[in-house]
Amino acid sequence: MHKSLQDLLAEQPVEASAPCRIDCGGTWDIKAMALPMEGIGPVTVNMALSLRTSAILSPYKDGWVKISSFGFPEGEAFYKDKLPFNSRFGLFFAAVSYFGFHGLEVRIRSRSPVNSALGGSSTALVALVKALARASAGPGRRRLHAKEILYLSYHLEDAVSGGNCGIQDQAAAVYGGVNQWKWRYGHRTAPFERTRLLDRQGQKELSKRLLVAYSGKSHVSSTTNRRWIKDFLSGSTRSGWVKVNETVLQLARAIKRQNWQKAADLLREEMALRKELTPEALIPITKKLVGQAERAGCGARFAGAGAGGSLWAIGGTKNIERLEKKWKETLAPVKGAKVLDCRIDPVGVR
């Protein structure tokens, strides 16, 4: 069943936004890894950033849907019965199709760089699902709760991509803040257990000790993730991934206790394990930046699947200040590269 939003949006556009994220332990949120290893308690730690992505719905030609996004020169517009789910914006067309809408334009606007490994597409999808749900919430209709937005966003992305998607990017976008996620896909009604690691004051303290930078080199996570999963399923790298999980559990405890130096040390340990397991996740510029962070007494790690994109560091305030100057010097000659102006965002999708 199709419903036009043309008249509704002509009265007032609908908008929603969600935060992107940095992470540690990522890949353990993928079902192919987490489900058979549920006995070890697979976890991911992530932190929502104040680099928010917005989805704005405005009126468009009746019967048509248009999608455009910051960072892409051209949008795509298709008739409601011919929405492609495999195009550049196929994921967003799939979300619009799920709600059965037409007569609208979706504009995606992000404060994070395109393909920067900060969970951008998942964040945009969460914002879009929230906006579409808001547009559908007429009198007497039930609003979607946070978990419903999370599950719908995850399953849409997993379905359209052909599987092997994680859920941590959507989780950070929905809930915000700093969280440990324990993945329990074998539990039908509760596939994850969320532990808030910091209250708002703790998040402010972490923000003073956090540095995030974009390498200037875009990335595509799907290729890297497939390789990691293939090796894990074969058993050749599984013991290394178990060590990663143990380190991330310790990192979560250090962050919760606000033991920032211990957290930096553990992040260095996780990075050392990742270098052995996934050497292709570091390119020359990110390898150099990680080295600079470690020499400054900080810990640093690539975001998401790496192979370009962004990276982040944690350390004492003075060490982070020194590292910020060093990273800015290193990134200055690289087109598009920069230290990102951001902090922990305590608020999820809204």
Q: Express each pLDDT in 11-27 by its tens digit.
A: 999 999 999 999 999 89
Any idea which residue has 């950070």 for tokens?
Answer: 172
pLDDT > 70? residue 138: no
Q: What token pair was written down for 60?
A: 């468009």
Q: What tokens appear for 136 in the block?
A: 């559908």
Q: Taking 70 as the threshold, does the pLDDT of residue 142 lie above it? A: no
Residues contacting 135, CB < 8 A, separation 6+: 5, 8, 9, 14, 57, 99, 101
User: Residue 98: helix, strand or coil by DSSP?
Assistant: helix
**Chain segment 147-198, per-residue pLDDT in tens:** 999 999 999 999 999 888 899 999 999 999 999 999 999 988 888 999 999 9
Does the pLDDT of residue 221 top 70, yes or no?
A: no
Residue 87 CA neighbour count, 13 Å, CB half = 16
User: According to the model, what pLDDT value does residue 219 have?
Assistant: 65
pLDDT recorded at residue 280: 85
What band does 2 get if pLDDT is binned at 50, 70 and 90?
A: confident
The overall average pLDDT reported for the chain is 93
What is the pLDDT, as a whole number, of residue 348?
Answer: 97
Does the pLDDT of residue 141 top 80, yes or no?
no
Is the confidence at residue 35, as pLDDT, over 80? yes
**C-alpha 28, offset from chain centre:** 14
* % of the chain with per-residue pLDDT over 90: 82
What structural domains does the chain harbor?
3-196 (3.30.230.10), 200-339 (3.30.70.890)
pLDDT at 276 over 60: yes
Averaged pLDDT, 322-340: 97
Identify the pLDDT of residue 202: 98
Q: What is the Cα Rg of the chain in Å?
A: 20
- Model pLDDT for residues 222-253, shown as the tens digit of each residue: 667 788 899 999 999 999 999 999 999 999 99
Q: How far apart are CA 236 and CA 234, in angstroms?
A: 6
* H/E segment holding residue 147: helix 146-161
Q: Estimate to the nearest angstrom the gap between the alpha carbon of 152 and the chain centroid.
A: 16
